[in-house]
Amino acid sequence: MELKNKRVLVTGADGFIGSHLTERLVELGAQVTALVQYNSFNHWGWIDTFDKNIKDSINVVTGDIREYDGMKKIIKGQEVVFHLAALIAIPYSYVSPMAYVKTNIEGTVNILEACREFGVEKVIHTSTSETYGTAKYVPIDENHPLQGQSPYSASKIAADKMAESYYRSYGLPVVILRPFNTYGPRQSARAVIPTIITQILAGVKEIKLGSLSPTRDFTYVKDTVEAFIKVAEADNTVGEVINAGSNYEISIGNLAKKIMNLMGVNVEIICDKQRVRPEKSEVNRLWADNTKIRNLTGWQPRYSLEKGLMETIDWIEKNHRYYKSNVYNI
């Protein structure tokens, strides 16, 4: 499938990955509709920061994926749907699990049902590596068991299974893309990499983090976006669950040290109890096997962790005003 001139909808286009994907689709010549969360201020999230020529190329619509009638109106006439809208903060899922059920599960069903009704040609549903929980074996391939170690991950497992059911029950052409930990410009302050960088930029002598021993597989946002594009373009991805990860793991503690080295500082790391997940909820190890996506689409990450971190540090240094490094936001 060629995306040029295709009528494409991106849900969650105002967010971190969604905004980067929206820009990339415009570059590819797609006719992009960007769904942003309805709000009374008419804020468009990161789309508000786009260059005028890109912004003018997008049809921005406001709505809420929890509301089916609105989704029907927006999805009617679309040919490809990239579904990224979700609640993603793991700590907040401990506080308000029902919000994750309504947004991540019910909202996803609304998208799937509208896509089925209007015969959308391809749906790319966004999963997360958190659905795997702590690795039972590494690297983690798509056959790894799913484990609901937080209300967030449980809601995403359910959403994934609903997407799978729409493929198997109705023949809806769905792809489930499962990115591992994506990072880069525009990422929320609650994520670990912006947390480390912004605290260092604030000049603190101690940076506060959660557990330091868990490992993660980090993928730069531009590589994750290309994974979305590749699985949408490929004809052999429908009905598949596909990992997108770097195939490299690093502990949070070593990640913090790497960022300090790149920024030329040496500060103490403090384990802040309020940032630590419940013991049985912590995902201790994530390491992606990306063999399947490479074989199906030819995708592979182009950014090393060092290169991606340098671009992220540079962007945050220039856009530090978007972050409140002295406030822990769950």
Give catalytic residues, as residue numbers: 152
Calculate the CA dihedral of residues 93, 326, 269, 152 and round it to 10 degrees.
10
Cα–Cα distance for residue pair 295/46, rounded to 1 Å: 33
For residue 278, CA distances in Å to 151, 153, 281, 326 come to 12, 14, 5, 23
64 CB burial (10 A radius; 0-12, 13-18, 19+): middle
> Does the CA dihedral 181-187-191-192 come out positive or negative?
positive
First to last CA, the chain: 39
| Structure-token pair, residue 5 | 């001139």
Cα–Cα distance for residue pair 163/126, rounded to 1 Å: 10
75 CB burial (10 A radius; 0-12, 13-18, 19+): buried
Cα–Cα distance for residue pair 9/1, rounded to 1 Å: 15
Residues linked to residue 269 through DSSP beta bridges, in sequence order:
207
CA-wise closest residue to 174 among 70, 83, 69, 298:
83
3-class SS of residue 80? strand
In 113-123, which positions are buried (b, 16+ CB within 10 angstroms) versus exposed (e)? bbbbeeebebb
The residue count for the chain: 330
